[in-house]
């Protein structure tokens, strides 16, 4: 039996990067996958790829910072599949800036996606999981949600908020059969790592060398962790932090 047979998974920011890789893996493992994203073009392209694995897949345009979008997306999934077993709150943006350079508009925009977006996911999906007394939520935090670094006050604050929000929600929902965990990747080779290389003036090779394992992570390595947390194999884990950082936090 496949590891996510008969499960319905919602993955935000699923058009590209880690979300896309996870969507393809979940589909291979038998899940009905719903990806959402603000990028409609990439969303439809990714949906076509997922459908080659499992035809029961959907894409919705969805800005995670907008509560109305959440209401509509959740209603459409319930209409189509009658349940949501897995929520991967993956959508997020990355901005590196010093404190004086961070203006309030930039602060509010990032927080509305990285923090409010995760909260709205919990608010609108948990009641549907509660009806079935089952579910698994994976919240995308970061290594930056565990440790500090220059230029990371804004992003780190958002990912730190996701880390503790995960524990609070896990405590509130444990008795209802719902598990909620956070994942903490180091640099993963998506567009975010390209941006980091550009902003920090460090080449990919230099970024690779900062990891004890000698390289940045791959989207598939995060997808595998998400799969474990989404599946019943992680049945005794909730409110916990799952680090995927090539040993980086071990030496800080």
Ligand X SMILES: NC(=O)c1ccc[n+]([C@@H]2O[C@H](COP(=O)([O-])OP(=O)(O)OC[C@H]3O[C@@H](n4cnc5c(N)ncnc54)[C@H](O)[C@@H]3O)[C@@H](O)[C@H]2O)c1
Binding site for ligand X (CB under 6 A): 12-13, 15-19, 37-39, 42, 62-65, 90-94, 113, 140, 142, 185, 187-188, 190-193
Of residues 62 and 128, the one with the C-beta less far from ligand X: 62
Task: Output the smallest distance, CB 155 to ligand X, in A.
Answer: 7
Q: DSSP letter at 122?
A: H
Of residues 73 and 129, the one with the C-beta less far from ligand X: 73
Which candidate, 136, 191, 202, places its Cα nearest to that of 169? 136
Measured distance CA(170)–CA(178) in Å, rounded:
8
Task: Output the smallest distance, CB 202 to ligand X, in A.
Answer: 13
CA angle 157-159-161, nearest 5°? 70
Measured distance CA(124)–CA(134) in Å, rounded:
15
Q: DSSP letter at 114?
A: I
Structure tokens at 87: 């929520």
Of residues 158 and 231, the one with the C-beta less far from ligand X: 158
Of residues 206 and 232, the one with the C-beta less far from ligand X: 206
Of residues 35 and 129, the one with the C-beta less far from ligand X: 35
DSSP H helical ranges for the chain: 17-28, 40-51, 67-81, 104-111, 117-132, 153-173, 191-200, 204-208, 219-230
Note if 155 is an active site residue.
yes
In the set 155, 187, 195, 211, the catalytic residue is 155
Measured distance CA(107)–CA(251) in Å, rounded:
30
Contact 165, 138 (CB under 8 A): no
Structure tokens at 189: 């080779």
- Active site positions, annotated: 155
């Amino acid at each position: 039996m496949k590891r996510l047979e008969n499960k319905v998974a919602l993955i935000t920011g699923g058009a590209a990067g880690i979300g896309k890789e996870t969507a393809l893996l979940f589909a291979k493992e038998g899940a009905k996958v719903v990806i959402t994203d603000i990028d409609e073009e990439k969303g439809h392209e990714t949906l076509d790829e997922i459908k080659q694995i499992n035809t029961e897949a959907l894409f919705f345009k969805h800005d995670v910072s907008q509560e109305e979008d959440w209401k509509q997306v959740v209603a459409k999934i319930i209409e189509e599949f009658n349940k949501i077993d897995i929520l991967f709150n993956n959508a997020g943006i990355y901005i590196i800036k010093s404190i004086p350079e961070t203006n309030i508009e930039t602060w509010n925009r990032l927080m509305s996606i990285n923090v409010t977006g995760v909260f709205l996911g919990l608010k609108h999906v948990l009641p549907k999981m509660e009806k079935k007394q089952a579910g698994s939520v994976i919240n995308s935090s970061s290594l930056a949600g565990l440790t500090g670094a220059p230029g990371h006050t804004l992003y780190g604050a958002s990912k730190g908020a996701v880390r503790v929000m995960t524990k609070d929600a896990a405590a509130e929902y444990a008795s209802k059969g719902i598990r909620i965990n956070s994942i903490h990747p180091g640099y993963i080779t998506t567009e975010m790592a390209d941006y980091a290389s550009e902003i920090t003036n460090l080449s990919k090779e230099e970024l690779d060398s900062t990891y004890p394992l000698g390289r940045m992570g791959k989207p598939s390595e995060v997808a595998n962790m998400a799969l474990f947390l989404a599946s019943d194999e992680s049945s005794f884990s909730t409110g916990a932090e799952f680090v995927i950082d090539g040993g980086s936090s071990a030496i800080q």
